[in-house]
Amino acid sequence: MPRSTTSLRLLTSALAVSLGPAPAWAQSTPAPASVQAPVPTLNLELNAAQPSDKGCRLAFVVNNALGADLSKAAFEIALFNEVGVVDRLTVLDFKDLPAGKTKVTRFDLAGADCGKIGRVLINSATECVGTGVDPAACMRGLKTSTKTGIAFGV
């Protein structure tokens, strides 16, 4: 090998050894996982179904996590009997739902027998109104749950 090539290799090797491994701060690190903003939701829980002097009283716990106040929120529901047949359609008006607030609301369903309600279905949002709120936000962000033996959902 010519002397200049050998000298160059020795110099390159010496330089690599003298630098040693790259410091930890210089090594590439994976970028942190991007933090996603919470998904806007409207949480609606069927909390209780109790006989009342008018029929059946349904109690709901609702939490508006849509990120904006709702001046009016109403839903059309379908009540199914114990054998799965639609008994009635009705609209429940939850009125105003401030952002970040949890609210309990009760509705008396005249002539309904709580023991014969097998399912409550949210059919649609008949009203979803608030400053800067997309009218479809109430259904798009709706999350349902139940504390009763009645099936509840969309």
Q: Among residues of the chain, what percentage have pLDDT more than 90?
A: 72
Of 26, 94, 23, 34, whose CA–CA distance to 64 is shortest?
Answer: 94
0.85 surpassed by pTM: no
| 26-45 as b/e: b if 16+ CB within 10 A | eeeeeeeeeeeeeebbbbbb
pLDDT single digits (tens) 90-143: 999 999 999 999 999 999 999 999 999 999 999 999 999 999 899 999 999 999
- The model's pLDDT over 53-74, given as tens digits with 9 standing for 90+, comes to 999 999 999 999 999 999 999 9
Is residue 17 over pLDDT 90? no
Structural domains in the chain, sorted by start: 42-153 (2.60.40)
CB-facing half-sphere around the CA of 19: CA atoms within 13 A: 10
Q: What is the pLDDT of residue 3?
A: 54
What is the per-residue pLDDT for 38?
72
**19-32: pLDDT as tens digits:** 555 555 455 555 55
